Structures are given as structure tokens and as C-alpha cells.
Structure 1
């Protein structure tokens, strides 16, 4: 089992490293400048290099790091003149790591490519990419690719334009629609003018810690971290010593987690961005990896790979190795519980805010685990205690097997394959928990289980709870919302067969279509930015939106537009969207909705809700995660009243 855990840890590290493709230690800006000569222009590539990172030059010797290269994939209306030129002089020194002389840039670098405009051309369109590699004193990123698109008409350079009605978005053919662009105009300052204290909009250093602690408690209610709790118990039971030494090891293990977890989180967010946790939970490979990992853990806890869960063999590892493994697993599978809190905390301070949130998160895990470890090491091991731990392993194995399906479901929802819809998911859960109930009453045994002629009162009550939970899920096959587990099971719109009341025709998953419908029906818009991998969004939709009074308001008074920022569905045609004057090519609907949230509202967190007029003007401040029914009703009524007042 030790070899399996080590292998899985390395695989997890590899998956996290794969996300390095999304980090940007080098920020690129590309623009076209005029020259003194008519029909001759210059493309200027400016690189802003963060912190201790450095960017390598354009001509490096073979066998070294990757040289910075500029590739032009498509050129219309112009021709290139000569080769790329370096404006700034690079640093040239001997590098002991690569054992050769290398050239690199610190802080900033500029490059120029001359072009000649073809006579009578109506526009210039240049698409390409920059291949570069960045390193610091500790590590090097793999070769990274940055795409750029430059488009210029007569006396008008699109990439340098500020986000506006005419330049915020254009298709790859340069066409735009003014009415469509009006609904994209930034409204952040207008929203702040409302001055409302809505859920999730105010943040302080104290709240940053409390939010992290709440996220940690929420993660403990799911089987995500249960394997590490059991492995901690197992490891400490195999290293029995005096009570004083046991308490010391428990404290050292807890302190190690309190130090290592926030440190790893800060390093990840600094290198890959604050959205790394959310990106990991919405990545196909990472979700499939976690699904396989949890199936293997479930099989181990149910008796596979080992002759006995409780044995006298050496423990899985010492407490430091165990704590680091705990950090790796928890960082990888708790993004949906902590990602939005980290985004809020980063608005306070880029490092201190997330650090407090991460510390609060791991504190919620350390506190109950430390109490359990002190308790199990305080009393001597007995056969009865070993049997209880074996029973706990088996029960946890069932829960982890059920929880593994959530990762498979997220991957299926993000990529829209519809292979694991809500009915199939619930059928599998009903079967798994039915077998758990049968196991608890002693009618099911695994290979290494000992004979138990009778069951205890505790097992009897656990069996009642298990069968009750199983029956609770049965109406979900017909479309019941199942509010208590809404954050774990697929959403209602992923169900094909539904006998319950369905939504009216005012729910949209496309911004343009929803705004057009709102204009024709003269209704306000409830716009929600959500995600298939966002547990908070699922919980709100299952617990709040299904409340009768709220559901009536949404169906009768509002046009609901729900946009998934992790939707991997391809756009019919690639689009060029300008964000902060930087043209960005997007290919999926998720990228488009994420760009809309950034441009219009200046936000990247989910869930994020706001009420708009059909013209895209705000009627409320932003609403974050909250399952307070009264507060949400007030949020809807205030927006609706403002809309009605504007109509008078």
C-alpha cells in the first residue's frame, strides 16, 4: 500500500504541474505602432516579467532552455520585413544548472517586428503565438505558448483600444453588433453605488479566516478528506509509545499541517494564479485522476491490496510524510469549497488574505483529527478497538466509493457528454448505500472480515440511518431536488426524466438569447455566473431556487440566465475579445462567459449573481454564496421594485 500511495502522490504532483501551462509569470502585450515611413509599421512585443522570474533570449545554444520564438501563423494585408529584433539588451552570464552561457531578461523585455502594408488593403490581420520559457532560482516552467491577434483598419488599431461598445468584442471576421455589445459594457461602478450589504460581497481579514474555517468544516462533511483521517489513525496506532510521546507526535503532526498546507497553497496561487484550485476541479484529467484515486482508496479500505487493514507491519509513513500527503490530497479535491473564498480574500491582500483563508481551512481539519488521535493513542490497543477501526474502514470505503462518482459527474457535465446523468448517478448511489446497509446488519462480509454472530446496537442504528438515506434518494429519480445533498449530486437540469414542476421558458444558458428574450418580454434579468464544478452554486440552486416563493418569483417575474464559466463546448466560430485592451482569442462558451464576467463586472468568483435591466444596466449589487432564504427574497424584491420604478 505504501508504494501505491507514493505512486499516487507523484501522479498528483504531475497533474498539478500540468496546470503550469496556465500560469503567467510573463505578461505579454502586443501592439502595432506607426513609423515615419508610410505603409511601414512595427509590431512591438512587450513582456512584463514578474518577481524573481526571468525570460530567456531569442538565440540560445542547443541543449539549453527553450529560446523565445515569435511565430506568425496568419498574415493578411501585410508582409514581414526581416527578423525579430531585441530592443532591450539581455543579461548574459554562465549558468551552472545548464553549464553554458545564457541570455535572459529580468523585469521587462521588448521585441520589434517590422511589417509593410500591402497597397489597397482594407485591413491588416495578424495571428500568431509566442513560444517562451521562464525560470526562477528554484524551478523552470515547461515551454509556454502565448497566442496573439492583431487587427488594424485604416488609422485604427484594435488591440490598443480600451474596452468599449465598439471594441470590446469582435468576431474573427471583424464584424460586431452594437446592440449586442451594449450589454457587455462595464457596470462595476454603477453596482457599487447601490451600497447594499449582500451575501459574499464584504470581506475582512477576520472573515477571510472564518470563511476558510467554514470551507474546512464543509469539506469534512464530505468523504474527500476521510481517507487521510483514517490513514492518520492507522499510522499513529502502529507507532505506539508513551502517552507523552503520543501527544507530542500529535501536536507536531498538527503544527506541520498548519504550516505546510497554507505554504503550499500560497506557492500554488502565486505561481499559477488565485484560480488554480477552481481550475483543477474543472479539469478533465484531474477529475478522472481523482475518480481513479478514490476508487483505489475505496478498494483498499474495503479489503483489497492488503491481507488485513489492521496489522503489525510498519505504518504508511511517519507523521511528516503523512501530513504532506494529506496536503496534496486536500489541495487537489477541495477547490470547489475554498476557491471562491480565496478569490474574495485576495481582494484584501494578494498573499495575506489567501494565507488566512488557507489557515482557517486547515484548522477546521486539524482540530477534530488532533482530538481523535489523542483519544486513540491515550488508550491501549485492544481487539475490540481493532474491530471498530476495521468497521470504520469498511464504512468509509463505501462513502469514498460513492464520492468518487462526483468527480466523474463533474467531468461529464463540463464537457457535455451526458454519459452520467442525474438518474444514473442516483441509481449508483442507491445501490452503494443499500449494500452499506446490508453490510451493517451483518448480511454482507468481505474477505478479511471476522465472523460477527450478532450486531451491536450502534451498528443497528447506523443501518437504520443508511436505509433511511437510501429511501430519501429514491424520489430524486423522479426529479425531487434533494436539497440536503444538492452540492454533491448532479443538478436537476442534468436529469432526463422529471415528474416534478419544470421551469418555464424563461431560463437560458446563453447571454445573448436571454437578454433578447428579456427585452421582448420586458422583464428584469437574474444573471448568474456558475460552474459545473462549483459546489456552492449547486447548493444554492438546489436549496434556494427550489423554495416555493423564490421559484415563483424566478418563473413569473424574472428572466434567468445561468452561465457556466467552465463549459468546454466549442463556439461555432472563434471570437476575439478585448480585456483591458488586450485582444484574447476564445474558443469555448465557458471562456466567453468568464470574459463577460471580467469585462462587465470586474469579478472572477462563482457563484456570482446580479439583477439587470434588459439593456444590461444593474438593478442590484452582486450576490455571492448564501442559503439564507429571507435574504435572497429581499435581494430579488429590491431588484424587481427598482425595475418597476424605472418603467413608470
Structure 2
């Protein structure tokens, strides 16, 4: 009976621990021998949906690369480096300012070996990094150990010595002292590990507090509303295209044609509905065609590719010049004439569909830039149907007036006549295209490291563009197709006011102000050369034990920030939340901030062997040490992870993960302070 109760309690404890410990990637290793003297160590990983595992050789300053590490090897030699196998996704990461490669769903890494004959033994581990849209895992190790006997002839001489030296480079770096590595167990008495295990009777700062933390609850992250956003973006794009000179004048002519071509009014309305539906089918089909040709992942990679962004930058500049009146861009007239002629010769639904197709061709000079920009933007979601959803919103906005005016023909009389106001909209779109063109150039600039479009340069250009747009709307700047009428309508005045106000809003950004409204478009803050903004948060310590000792001496609570150099959402939290004046004031003045990087590759003075959940593990780097602290003490392994503790290492509030809500974060900090004061 006692054994049963103990088993149940152990199971409940395991469930509590697993509440935060995430295992989105599961690897298995195997040794495959192909022919005499050759073998491969194969690592096969299964990745949960939404997560990805980074590939090899990504370079410094980026996410955690997959690496093959040897601890001991005999009777075999490494042949080259570990190789990623399968379909990699390559994309430019704006945060790290570099191109990264990763796997989704399945990851495969292969390390070739040469067996020199006789007994062989290979032992080591594969280390990899994994992230999703909200969290990153610390560097994770997949241990392996293979031994056996192989037929072959041992290789002797200089070549063999050279190969052996290459094969043992990791062994020399990290395992020379492995045989004498310290053994530490939480609560034990070993003292030469660099880990506080409280063997001297003092407070054990590494003691697990999982039960206390779980009792306080966890924060739920925000839900994804990307599909609604994509549809709305497409709809707004369709409305903009609707009020251009390429589309607006066609509406009354087309509706009148449908109502007059048939004596039956109901049939005319039906034809207009069919026309609108045909527009929707054409543009949704375009969205599906783009994704079908490239594929969702390829489209996502293409949208962040430096060469593609340069091309799109140049294309938008050309379209903007066309909108300003420098020249006219149209598709070959024989295309639209051929389709129009085909529509006249056919009847029924096919003729209506061909008329809708003619509209798509004729209006290309106005709709092309909008559609192109929309497809590029939605492709970054990596979702197969995202371009179709965007095109659905665009097409519904474009087709709406044709059906509405067909249902209510009297509205045509009150419809604004074509005139100079449409050229104003066209020129305004030209300014917006130039602004977005700089956004695409910025991606290429970051990729190649040109540093010609740093944050303040980008903002200066945007300030000038939106200021000029404001002056244009006020009639102070003229383009070739503008009327000479100097009167400014009320709507045009308010548009000018908004544009000039936006330009003024961006001015403080030249001196380092965050400008959250344009943070999605402007280059990252670290590219700013001249920064007077000092409302930033900096950690007092990057060592847990030293920081805790400082906090004890000064009588302050502690905020632990488990982060990583490869953690994208950690940087988002620091820029979007920590820069808030109230947040930064509380962290800087009321807490001792200790930032612990779980992917810090600085080696420990000597490897530390620990027992974790009955399994022996080796901590080799500073990052391993902090990752181990997060797992064992707090039962979590994803970043960002924020936890507030007192001077004895006990939690003061529920933990906090990725959520950019500033009020929630302030409440999180203030609750911790209140609980700390109650303890005192």
C-alpha cells in the first residue's frame, strides 16, 4: 500500500515538473555501417508543429548551431564535419542580422566515420538549438555511445596521425579533464563544482521551488490573429486599388453595360454578381498559383532573400515614378484586346469571366504594386493558404462596388465623378510605395552588412517622404498630371495633417527614441549610431550566486531573466516592454536584475557531472550551468523566462514568459514587490 501511494505521489510530481519542461524535439541516434571501413552516426529528430531545429555552421552571433562533439574515440576516425540532410528552410533573421537555416517537422544529421579495424568505440553528443514563435530551448545534447568490432586495416603514418588529431579536436577542447570532473548532486556536499549545493548548512539557493511556483500559476501567451490580419490587409489594399484612375472610371461603364444588355433587370443584376464573383476567383486563383509554384516555405525564404528584396525595392521605385507621372506602365495592349475580343465572341458566364479578366489586365498599372506588396508581406507567415486569404480580401473590396451598384443603380448618380482627386490618390500611393521600398532595401542592407541604411538614415528618409506627402496634399508640391486648382478639400487637408504629424512623430527617433509604431519597419535599434535615449535596462549581474549575494547584502528582491543570444522573443520583450519608463524604473531601482544566458559558450573551469532525474549529465559551459539551474530549480526550459525570488531563492510571484502587455508586466513586478515586503 505504501509503495502504491509513493508511486502515485511520484507520478504527480512528474506531471507538475512536465507542466513547464518542454520536449518539442525528440532525437534518436544509430550507427550505420555500409561497407568495410565506413560507418555513419545518424541522428533523426522528430519536431513538433511550430518548432524548428537550427542547422550547422550558422556563424557567431546567431542561433545555436548543431554540432557533433566527441568525448572519446578509438579504432575510428572522423571524416569531415556533421552534415545536415533533408529539406532546410533558409531565411534572413532581422534580429540577428544574418541568414539562418533550420529544419521543420523532421531533422537529420549525419557524421561519417572511418573504422580503422579491430575494436572501435565512439562516445560523445550532438548539441542543437530549437525555437518556436514564442520560446527557445537552451542548447540540448543528444548523447551517443557506440562500440563493436570492424574488419579492416589500421592506418599508420603521418596521414593517420593528422586524421586522428582532427578527430580528437573536440576531445582536446572539452574532455581532457572529463575523467576528473566534479560530481554534484543537488543537496549534496561536493564543493568544488562552481555550483552552490549548500553543503555547509547555509541556504541552498539551488533548491527546487517547482511546487511553490506551480501553486502561483502561469501566464498565458497571446493568441495568433494572423489570418484575420491578412484578410484585413488584403481588403484595405483592394479599397486603395478601387479609388485609382485604373479602376474607378470603369465601375459605372461596366454596371451600366450589365443593366442595359438585358431587358430583364434580374438577369442584369445576376450578371453583375457573376462579374464580381469572377474577380474574386481570378485574384484568389492568383494567390493559390503563387504559393503552388513556390511552396509556402520557399515563398517565405524568398520574401527574406536579400537579392529578391533588392529587386522588389527597384520595382517599387519604378512603380512610384510611374504614379508620380514620369511614364505610364501598362501590359501589352494586344493581351487585353485579345481577351476583350474573345469576350465579345462568346456568351453566357464565360464572356462575363473574360470581361473580369480584362479588368485585371487593364488595371495592372495601379493594382500590380499593391498586389505584389501584399503577396510579399503575407508570405512571411509560411502558411500555405495565406496568399489566398490576402487575395480574397483584396478581391472582395475590388468586386464590392460592381455588385452594390448593380443592386442599387440609383447610387450611380451620386457616385463621385472621375477627376483630379484620383490622381491625388495615385501620387499618394507613389509616396507610400517609396516608403515601403526602403523597408525592402533595409533587409538587403542588413544581409550584406553595407550599413548604408542604419536606423537614423532610414528614419530621416521616412521623415522627408511623409513631410513631402503632407506638403503635396496641401498643394505646395505639384506633379505633371495634377490640376492647377489651388483649393484644398477638407479630406485632403486632414490627410496632410496626419502625414505631417507622422513625420514630426518620427523626429525623436533620430536621437534614439523607440518609436514603437514603426518598429516593424525600421532597422533594429543596434544599428543606431547616435543614441541619446538612456531609458534602458541593464543587468547588474550575469552570475546567479554573485547576484544573490549582492541582493542579500542590500536587502532587495531578485528578478531572474533566463534568456539566450539566440532568443528572438527575448529581444522583443527587452525593446517593447523593458523600455517602458515605469517598467525600467521598477527593474532598475527595486530589483537586482540577474540575466542568465543559457547558450553562453564560455567553458567552465572544469566540466561538472551532475545527476538529474536519475540520469548523469555533464555541464561543460556557463550556459549549461544556467540551463540546469532553470530546469532543476524552476522546472522550465524555455526562454524568455522571468521569475521573481527573495533572498533565499523562493518565488514571489508566478513566472512570466513571452507577453508584450506592459500593464501585465507591471502587475507582475509590483505583485512580487508587495509579497517581498510582506515577508519582511
The bucket for the TM-score relative to the shorter chain is: 0.5 to 0.7
Aligned to 2:428: 395
Quote the residue 1:272 is aligned against: 297
Would the alpha carbon gap of residues 325 and 470 (structure 1) be closer, same or farther in structure 2, given more than 3 Å must change? closer
Q: Could you say which residue in structure 1 is the equivalent of 2:519?
A: 486
Match of 1:472 in 2: 505
Whole-angstrom distance in 1 between the partners of 2:509 and 2:84: 50
CA 1:284–1:431 in 2, change beyond 3 Å: closer, same or farther?
Answer: same
Structure-2 separation of matches of 1:251 and 1:451: 40
Partners of 1:291 and 1:404 within 8 A in 2: yes
Measured at CA, do residues 294 and 562 of structure 1 come closer, stay the same or move farther in structure 2, by a change above 3 Å? Answer: farther
**In 2: Cα distance, 1:125 partner to 1:425 partner:** 47
Tell me if 1:524 matches 2:559: yes
Asked whether the equivalents of residues 212 and 358 of structure 1 are also in contact (C-alpha less than 8 Å), the reply is: no
Aligned counterpart in structure 2 of residue 42 of structure 1, from 25, 28, 39: 39
User: By how many angstroms is 1:428 displaced?
Assistant: 0.8
Distance 1:197 1:412, change over 3 A: same
Given that residues 610 and 622 in structure 1 are in contact (C-alpha distance below 8 angstroms), is that contact kept between their aligned partners in structure 2? yes
Counterpart of 2:75? 117
Cα separation, 1, equivalents of 2:210 and 2:283: 39
The answer on 1:234 being equivalent to 2:246 is yes
| Residues 46, 620 of structure 1: alpha-carbon distance in 2 compared, 3 angstrom cutoff | same
In structure 2, the CA distance between the partners of 1:412 and 1:624, relative to structure 1 (3 Å rule), is farther
- What stretches of structure 2 of length at least 5 have no aligned partner? 1-25, 48-69, 89-106, 130-136, 145-168, 176-180, 182-192, 196-208, 259-268, 338-355, 552-557, 604-626
Q: Indicate conservation of the 8 Å contact 2:561/2:641, yes or no.
A: yes
CA distance in 2 between counterparts of 1:501 and 1:613 reads 24
Task: Give 3-state SS (helix, strand or coil) of 1:524's partner.
Answer: strand
Per-residue deviation, 1:33: 4.7
Aligned partner of 2:277 in structure 1 is 251
Give 1:282 deviation, angstroms: 3.9
Q: Distance in 1 between matches of 2:484 and 2:671?
A: 63
Q: Taking structure 1 as reference, are residues 313 and 77 closer, same or farther at Cα in structure 2, changes over 3 Å only? A: closer
Residue 631 of structure 1: aligned partner: 664
Residues 442-457 of structure 1 mapped to structure 2, 5 A cutoff: 442-457=475-490
**Shift of the alpha carbon at 1:218?**
6.0
Match of 1:212 among 227, 233, 242: 227
> Following the alignment from structure 1 to structure 2, what is the Cα–Cα distance between the partners of residues 361 and 445?
34
Alpha-carbon distance in structure 2 between the residues aligned to 1:495 and 1:519: 34
1:127 to 81, 101, 120: 81
1:428 aligns with 2:443: no
Matched residues in 2 for 1:521 and 1:411: separation?
45
Mapped pair 1:292 → 2:292: no
**TM-score normalised per structure 1:** 0.54
1:400 is displaced (CA, Å) by: 1.6
Q: Deviations over 1:302-331 (max 9, x none)?
A: 22331899x999599646777999766423
CA distance in 1: counterparts of 2:378 and 2:445, whole angstroms = 19
2:375 to 331, 347, 368: 331
Q: TM-score, normalised by structure 2?
A: 0.52
Write the distance in 1 (CA, Å) between the matches of 2:391 and 2:425: 23
Native 8 Å contact 1:295 1:401 kept in 2: yes
CA distance in 1, matches of 2:210, 2:392: 35
Q: Secondary structure at the match of 1:392?
A: helix
What's the offset of the Cα at 1:394? 0.3
Q: Secondary structure at the match of 1:158?
A: strand
Aligned partners of 1:31 and 1:159 also within 8 Å: no
TM-superposed deviation, 1:250: 2.6
Shift of 1:359: 6.9
- Separation in structure 1 between the aligned mates of residue 303 and residue 567 of structure 2, nearest angstrom: 9
Q: Distance in 2 between matches of 1:432 and 1:161?
A: 45
Q: Which residue of 1 aligns with 2:614?
A: none
Q: Distance in 2 between matches of 1:395 and 1:463?
A: 10
1:466-503 Cα shifts (integer Å, max 9, x gaps): 22222222222223333333333334443222333242
**Does the Cα contact within 8 Å between 1:506 and 1:559 map onto a contact in 2?**
yes
CA deviations on 1:140-166 (whole Å, 9 max, x unpaired) are xxxxx9874458994425359999989
The separation in 2 between residues aligned to 1:161 and 1:400, in whole angstroms, is 41
Secondary structure of the structure 2 residue equivalent to 1:333: helix
Aligned to 1:175: 174
Q: Deviations over 1:583-607 (max 9, x none)?
A: xxxxxxxxxx9xx9xxx9898xxxx
- CA shift in 2, pair 1:215/1:159, >3 Å: same
Task: Give the CA deviation at 1:548.
Answer: 2.0
With over 3 angstroms needed to count, the CA separation of the structure-2 counterparts of 1:252 and 1:440, relative to structure 1, is: same
Query: 1:254 & 1:641 partners in 2: Cα distance?
Result: 57
Greater alpha carbon shift after TM alignment, 230-239 vs 394-403 = 230-239
Change (3 A) 1:484 1:44: closer
Figure out how many residues of one structure are paired with residues of the other and give that number: 473
Alignment of 1:550-565 (within 5 A): 550-556=583-589, 557=591, 559=593
